[in-house]
Structure 1
């Protein structure tokens, strides 16, 4: 894996996890968690998967242009983004270019 892809993966982790902690856990009682997984294939393709038990949030439907810089970055460095809300958990998969 090249330095460019490593940088994009680290940037995605920082942006997504930071948003989860800052916005998803605010005012929510109980224990919080983020499950992060990275799958890399031999051909260099990669999928970053994050699950959290924060407030339900679908980044694919969010369109507040004033404060979506982090989401714009994620959209710009990814090939595909997939979101599901399952068993009270946000599940986000990001295919990194």
Structure 2
């Protein structure tokens, strides 16, 4: 397992993406999966930056682990911010037009659609969002 701990600032999203990309390149990750993982990083890291820490800058640890059988990548985002389980967010009604749809929820919906398994826990005063993508 490899990990990076970085300030939860939106300008650090490229650093996190590059860190994960370097590891994906080592295993010859298919481009489609790589793009899906980019969407997940943008959404999860971005939400932590915007909402986890009210009046301060905290950190985010992004852990990457690979499995061989089945071949998969596991990403874990850990922060010390406000407790929040994004999996409790109701999925948006995507049959509605953007004008008719309520604001919010589309990003985590995309995460759910792009990953094969997702788990959330709040433990030791930390949010932990674990996700698996089969490659």
Task: State the TM-score, normalizing by the size of structure 1.
Answer: 0.87
Q: CA deviation at 1:68?
A: 0.5
Aligned residues: 95
CA offset digits 1:7-47 (Å, max 9, x no partner): 111211111000001011123x4x51100011123453111
Give SS of 2:83's match. Answer: coil
**Cα separation, 2, equivalents of 1:72 and 1:10:** 15
Q: 1:78 to 1:56 in 2, by over 3 A?
A: same
Q: Which of 1 and 2 has greater Rg?
A: 2
Secondary structure, in 3 states, of the residue corresponding to 1:41? strand
Matches of 2:63 and 2:119, distance apart in 1: 14
CA 1:44–1:64: 2 relative to 1, 3 Å: closer
CA RMSD in angstroms comes to: 1.6
